[in-house]
Structures are given as C-alpha cells and as structure tokens.
Chain A
Amino acid sequence: QKEVEQDPGPLSVPEGAIVSLNCTYSNSAFQYFMWYRQYSRKGPELLMYTYSSGNKEDGRFTAQVDKSSKYISLFIRDSQPSDSATYLCAMSAVGGTSYGKLTFGQGTILTVHP
C-alpha cells in the first residue's frame, strides 16, 4: 500500500464548477501537506502548503487537512480553463526517515472545459 493515495481521475468539469481533489495517507508522522500543480511538459509548481490540521485559503483555492482522518483536500472555486493541469498532493515529516523529503500522490488530471 502506498503511503499517499490520490485518485488519478481524469476529472472533467465545466468552467465555473467547484472542483474537489483529495488524498489519503497512512503515515501519521506527516505534518506538512502540499498541493503542486503541473502543466503539460512542465515541472510541478507549489500551489499551497499547510502545516498540521486546518484550512488555508488563497484566492479561488482552499486547502483542508484533517489529520484525525488522514485526509487532505483541495477545493477550486469558479474553475477556469487555465486550471486544467495535473494536481499532485505531497507530504513530508519533520522527523524520522521521511525527514526533508516529499512523498507524492499519483496526481489527478483535471480538465476544465469552456
């Protein structure tokens, strides 16, 4: 079983829809939770990160972390065609064997059509 599980999709939504992307994890040592966005033929770019549990909002994007359920989410409001990309969740631990290294989910391919 992978430490981080993410539904690969693909996910196709109309412009303006609310998008929900999710990951589950098994390593209780994870404390940093990230979302990266990857456009075709490009490397991943950091979209948002959260430390420990809670919510974080940045414009149309909201990240949620529920450590008790080992579940993280990314919500995209008013989705735009320019949001079409692969979204990768990633996690890291402050200590232990995962220290300073990111563990990624499989990535979800999102297409927002006009």
Chain B
Amino acid sequence: DADVTQTPRNRITKTGKRIMLECSQTKGHDRMYWYRQDPGLGLRLIYYSFDVKDINKGEISDGYSVSRQAQAKFSLSLESAIPNQTALYFCATSDQGQSFYGYTFGSGTRLTVV
C-alpha cells in the first residue's frame, strides 16, 4: 500500500456541486498539506495542518475547506465547485523534523469541474 493514499484518483463534477477529496497516510506523520497543481503555476498551498487541532490557510484557501479527522486523515472540500478549480490536487505529509524538506506526496486527484 502507498504511504499516502488519495481518493478518488479522478473526478468529474458539475459547477455548484460540493465535493470532498480524501487523503490518508501510514507514515505516522503529524503534518499534512493540500496543494493544487496547475500548468505553468507549479504547486500552490491550499491548507496545512501541523497536528489534529492545528489547521491553517495557505496561499489559495478561498473556496476550499478542510477537516483533519485523525492524525492519519486530512480531507479537502470544495463547497461549491467552479470551473477554475479544475486542477491536479496533491496531499502531502511530513514529520516535524523533516518538515523543511522531506514531504511525501500522494499520487494526486485529477479534478475536472464542468
């Protein structure tokens, strides 16, 4: 099994729908992150969580929310999806000691909003 598992791998949804992307990890890491990747823009941070009770906004959090259900689970929700949220979404984890460089990424969720 992968260290960081994201579900679903692919999703097509309609404008205005609520959608949840899920992430679970077996690394035992405290820190979890959600990034989106767009062509020409690289990876941009949406939300991050340093532990279950510590959740913070990243640089592009508008239109998104998150839930840290347990140390191993971190979900990203789009409350009302819009077409410009079409992107590749990645979940990542790190432990405190390696948080400056040692991220482990999932394989991504490709989301299309039509």
Which residues on A are within 8 Å of B, measured CB to CB? 4, 6, 8, 31-32, 34, 41-46, 49, 88, 90, 92, 94, 100-107
A-B contact pairs, 9 of them (CB 8 A): A41-B108, A45-B105, A46-B103, A49-B102, A88-B42, A104-B35, A104-B42, A106-B40, A106-B41
What per-residue 1/0 map shows which CB atoms of B41-56 lie under 8 Å from chain A?
1111100101000000
Asked if B40 and A100 make an inter-chain contact with CB atoms under 8 angstroms apart, the answer reads: no
- CA separation between A92 and B99, bound complex, in Å? 9
Most chain B CB atoms below 10 A, which of A31, A88, A105, A107: A107
Asked if B101 and A92 make an inter-chain contact with CB atoms under 8 angstroms apart, the answer reads: yes
Asked if B101 and A32 make an inter-chain contact with CB atoms under 8 angstroms apart, the answer reads: yes
What per-residue 1/0 map shows which CB atoms of B72-102 lie under 8 Å from chain A?
0000000000000000001010100001111
| Interface presence of B4 (CB below 8 A) | yes
Q: How many residues of B contact A (CB 8 A)?
A: 25
Asked if B101 and A49 make an inter-chain contact with CB atoms under 8 angstroms apart, the answer reads: yes
Task: For B100, give its contact among A4, A32, A44 (CB under 8 Å).
Answer: A32
**Nearest chain A CB to B9 CB, angstrom units:** 9
Asked if A43 and B41 make an inter-chain contact with CB atoms under 8 angstroms apart, the answer reads: no
| Interface presence of B71 (CB below 8 A) | no
Which residues on B are within 8 Å of A, measured CB to CB? 4, 31, 33, 35, 40-45, 48, 50, 58, 90, 92, 94, 99-103, 105-108
Closest Cβ neighbor of A43 among chain B residues? B105
Asked if A88 and B43 make an inter-chain contact with CB atoms under 8 angstroms apart, the answer reads: yes
Task: For A105, give its contact among B31, B42, B50, B100 (CB under 8 Å).
Answer: B42
